[in-house]
Amino acid sequence: MGRKKRKARYVIRASIAVDGAIRGADIVDALFNKTGVILEGLDLSGLRRKGKIGRVKANVGVEGGDSKVPISIPSRLGEKKTAMIAAAMETVEQVGPLKAKVEIDRIQDAEEAKREYMKRRARELVEEMEKKRKTPGPERTAVEGEGLERFKGVPAGPKASESDAVIIVQNRSGVINLLSHGIKNVVAIEVSEFAPAITEICEGRTSTAFLDGDRSGDLILKELLEVVDLDHVARAHEGKKVEDLSGKDARKALKNKVAPCECSFSRDYELGELAQIMRELEGSLKACILGDRLDKAEETKVRDLLKELSDSRGVRAVLLDGVITQRLADLAAGKGLKYLIGARKRLTRKPEGIEILTREDLKDR
Using DSSP's 3-state secondary structure scheme, residue 78 falls into: coil
Query: What pLDDT band is residue 143 in, cutting at 50, 70 and 90?
Result: very low
pLDDT at residue 99 greater than cutoff 70: yes
pLDDT at residue 5 greater than cutoff 60: no
Q: Which domains does the chain have, with CATH numbers?
A: 10-110 (3.30.70.2690), 135-262 (3.40.1360.10), 267-362 (3.40.140.20)
Query: What pLDDT band is residue 65 in, cutting at 50, 70 and 90?
Result: very low
355: how many CB neighbours lie within 10 A of its CB?
15
The predicted structure's pLDDT at residue 40: 62
The mean-pLDDT minimum among 16-30, 147-161, 324-338 falls in 16-30
Across 19-153, where does the E strand assignment appear? 57-58, 67-75, 94-95, 98-109, 149-151
Q: Is 277 left (phi over 0), alpha (psi -120 to 50) or beta?
A: alpha
This prediction's pTM: 0.47
Handedness of CA 236, 242, 248, 254 (dihedral sign): positive
Q: pLDDT above 70 covers what percent of the chain?
A: 86
Alpha-carbon distance values, 224 to 147, 229, 277 (Å)? 26, 8, 20
How many Å apart are CA 81 and CA 302, to the nearest integer? 29
For residue 278, the Cα-to-chain-centroid distance in whole angstroms is: 17
Query: What pLDDT band is residue 198 in, cutting at 50, 70 and 90?
Result: confident
The mean-pLDDT minimum among 39-48, 82-91, 127-136, 197-206 falls in 127-136
How many Å apart are CA 98 and CA 66, to the nearest integer? 10
Per-position DSSP letters for 138-185, written without gaps between them: HHHHHHHHTT-EEETTEEE-TTTTT-SEEEEESSHHHHHHHHHTT--S
Average pLDDT rounded to a whole number, residues 209-223: 85
pLDDT at residue 166 greater than cutoff 90: yes
Query: What pLDDT band is residue 132 in, cutting at 50, 70 and 90?
Result: low
The predicted structure's pLDDT at residue 234: 94
